[in-house]
Structure 1
Amino acid sequence: MIWPPVKAWTSKVYINDQVHFVAINYGGELLNRWVVLMSVLDSNVIVKVSWSQIIDLSKWEAGWDEKNYLESSKSVNKKNDNKTSKSSRLSTDSGLTIPISEHSIRPWFY
């Protein structure tokens, strides 16, 4: 999988009733990489996911998918491996800052 991560992600399970997320920040090196994701529909839902979790195709998919959820009626609770956060800074290449000061913006999809 390509680093830095694309911006659009779909969780295979509901996280606080949400499945579509935007990668707003990322960091770390090698095995300690992580991605901060914010729900597309509810900006209060922010999770920090390890890179090993996000590249696991049984848990996450790059892009926004409308089908194939493993647990369509269940919500993931806070006992999972994802860390919930109330706020997070945006990466400089997110394209989500105002004003946009960077010329290189990460793509939404592959």
Structure 2
Amino acid sequence: MPWKPAEAWTSLSPRSGRRHFRVVLQGGRGSERWVELASLLEPQVRLRESWTQLQDKAQWQRGWQPIPPNDSEGI
């Protein structure tokens, strides 16, 4: 069965000023798996995160989660 991460991710803290990302590339095997994410609002803003980091619920959540209204540090 092919490995397929969730398509949408929300960072719990701003990354390059953004919080909502979508998967654009994925690669690697085993512990070397990685996912490349693009910001929804600025697709040129891209991050490459290890699959292990994306699984850390203190850093990332699957899907696009709402940002609290009092949090002005990125969308």
Normalising by structure 1, what TM-score?
0.58
- Name the aligned partner's letter for residue 26 of structure 1: Q
**Contiguous gaps of at least 5 residues in structure 2:** none
**Identity over aligned residues, as a percent?**
36
The structure that is strand-richer by fraction is: 2
Cα deviation code 1:52-95 (max 9, x no counterpart)? 10000000111000146xxx4557xxxxxxxxxxxxxxxxxxxx
Which structure's CA Rg is the greater one? 1
Q: In structure 2, what is the equivalent of residue 25 of structure 1? A: 25
CA distance in 2, matches of 1:45, 1:55: 21
- Name the aligned partner's letter for residue 44 of structure 2: N
Structure 2 counterparts to residues 82-101 of structure 1, below 5 A: none
Aligned residues: 70
Query: SS of the counterpart of 1:22?
Result: strand
Q: In structure 2, what is the equivalent of residue 47 of structure 1? A: 47
- Name the aligned partner's letter for residue 45 of structure 2: V
CA RMSD of aligned residues (A): 1.7
Q: In structure 1, what is the equivalent of residue 9 of structure 2? A: 9
Normalising by structure 2, what TM-score?
0.83
